[in-house]
Structure 1
Amino acid sequence: MSTTEVPVSPAVVAVPDTKAEQTSKASTSGVKSFLSGGFGGMCLVAAGHPLDLLKVRMQTSSEYKSTLDCLRKTLAENGIRGMYRGMAAPLVGATPVFAICFWGYDMGQKIMRYAYNMSPTDQLSTSQILFAGGFSAIPTTAVMAPMERIKCNLQVTSASGSGTAYKGPVDAALGIVRAGGITSLFKGTCATLLRDVPGSVAYFGAYELIKKSLTNQGAGQGSISPLAIVTAGGLAGMANWAVAIPPDVLKSRLQTAPDGRYTGVRQVFIEMMRTEGAGALFRGMGPALLRAFPANAACFLGVELSLQFMNGLW
């Protein structure tokens, strides 16, 4: 998720030519990153939720032979509406979660600029970008963990009556609190952080590097087409899940297990290795990668277009 602030035209996103313009926009980058991140998150959820549901179901059950088998059984059991089960929670939560994530990424960049005495217009090195990406996961986890807990529990409930049937995200949240108290909403927080720190490093690092490679350096100080944004965003999403899927499996198992079943993510890992082997850590990789490209392409395009809109206002 990039916080680079560049005006967008129908053809290209062009970096401002004057240092004064760049410095002015840099001074409000935190606000713009926060707002554009929220909009981008909403785009991501709308585009990618059905495949996210398949990913979670495969991670928490061994009854599915493949992604297609999971899709077929989910459609047979719940219909097309079942593909959007649990979407309300991440959709409502997407705005603050992604807004905080983008803001965190911007703060990570500012920390690097301050530490190395850099100006707002100086280009960050690859290692500095990677630090900023990893840093973004820290403030995000406080909001992400309970939303993930609610979403995963909704996604694994069955219309046939197996498991606990929730009417929606509010009912799920109340049911989780009734069963284990308010702290139960934060079950899996460490697992979420374990997933999102390396995942965010790969995510932001891949996006910035791919976007840079696709930038036409001969057009002013640089330009990038919407197609390049979509390409860089989609590949960044796949890079994120290539790194994050094993800890995501552990997180999903922990968050959907009955209270008291596991003492923590370490016990989940030990039991999975003993009973299912290392291959279980990559369960759900197929739908995760299938979802990653369109969902994150939509996210980054939403981010860049919202930045265009805000850059036109102030």
Structure 2
Amino acid sequence: MQYRFYNFTLDTAQLYLTASGVPVDADARQLQLLRLLIDSYPEPCSQQLLLERLWPDTVVSHWSAGRLVSDTRKLFRNLGYEGPLIQTLHGRGYRLAPELVAQLREVPAASARPAINSPAADTAPAHPVAAETRPVTTHASFWRLCGVMGLLLLVTAATVYFITARRIPDEGVPLVIGEAADVRGRILWVDDNPGNNLAERHDFEARGIAVYIVTNTEDALTLLSMYRYQAVISDMGRGDEPLAGFKLMERMRARRDETPYFLYTIMPSDTQRQLVQQRGGNGVAVTSDELFSLVLPLFAEDSAAPAGR
């Protein structure tokens, strides 16, 4: 079966991928992962299912599935794809991003892999329920690249403005727009895919708790050195660092930062929970209910005091 989205064509039977008609050198497991996610959508694939299907009869670390997802996202980013690809659903596994599914369409599979720049890759009829895509030409690809670069610059500028505007001022200076004057406290949330935690963040904010987002360890340490937070919530793996959550926790404690620290991750082992406690962490949560039960008591204790700097 072949599927098209944006300028990509994925053949799930022969396991090959093309971008604008050009074959992509992708790992077979990355394409098998996409096939599993497409076949199971809208249901997610659990981490255990991915391990069993992608590494059959092989003993591998439970981090292997998360690393494969991260590598697959990176592959498409390097190919110029800027949209969401795979969602992480805490406690449930992984699912194809709905935004990608909206562009996905099924096309008749060719008898052989298309040659580079073959027009056949762009003339297959659309699936009746899928969104229409435009044929890709060299000229269009050039302008698309220019558009992507321009959009990237705008997003970068907006991100810098957002972080700057959301920072907490020194005592005696009025709060900037973006934080209510009567907040009960603040959470610093570290996650390289912050869109995965929108529901949880909205729930905290509805309770009068301000949530500030960073996507990497260095930004988190910088903000922790400048402002006071009642809690830090972090994912475990980020990008090419499967233990990024542990490293941030260790660096915080090494500089005597005792801000309560919680990992929000998928399927933690007993050993992982023990290591978090031994190295100065305050807990590991898998579900949103578990996360709230760990974090909200901090604000019940701290609600009588101002958030401060």
> Which TM-score band applies after superposition, normalised by the shorter structure?
under 0.3
Relative to the length of structure 1, the TM-score reads 0.21
Relative to the length of structure 2, the TM-score reads 0.22
Higher relative contact order at CA 8 Å, sep ≥6: structure 1 or structure 2? Answer: 1
**Greater fraction of residues in helix:** 1
